Amino acid sequence: MAELRYTREHEWIRIDGNIATVGISQYAQEQLGDVVYVELSEAGRKVRPGDDMAVVESVKAASEVYAPVAGEIVEVNAALIAVPEKINEDAEGEAWLVRLSGVDAATVASLMDGEAYRAFVKGLD
């Protein structure tokens, strides 16, 4: 499985072939608390870095999820609509939010790797 890369806004991205999967980090879900609602963008939408792609609401707050890179949304994880708490159980795995095509692999590679992200998060505490 490809390595996860992270943004300063706590999104993760993983490229598998020509598709990039995006979700929120374990740290982000811990900060949110119990997730109660997820709203996802529609497939077919083109996004640029920083565009909002989803909203994750918890008992504490609502948080927008931003596109870490440019691409086209080709799939959304509709299962999260019915079971949003899956994000609390497996934020960096089965609880991915969207899949993108047309992603520049070099842009993804320029994002933080796991070690750099853990150091970044440690600096937030």
Query: 118 Cβ partners below 8 Å, 6+ apart?
Result: none
Phi, psi of 105 (to 5 degrees): -60, -35
Ranges in the chain, pLDDT < 50: 1
Per residue in 98-111, pLDDT (tens digit) is 999 999 999 999 99
Please report, to the nearest 10 degrees, the dihedral formed by the alpha carbons of residues 113, 54, 71, 108 taken in order.
Answer: 0
* CATH code of the domain containing 91: 2.40.50.100
Per residue in 80-92, pLDDT (tens digit) is 999 999 999 999 9
* Predicted pLDDT of residue 68: 96
Give the total number of structural domains in the chain. Answer: 1
Please calculate the CA angle 80-82-85 and round it to the nearest 5 degrees: 60
Count Cβ atoms below 10 Å from residue 32 Cβ, excluding itself. Answer: 22
Quote the domain boundaries for residue 21.
5-122
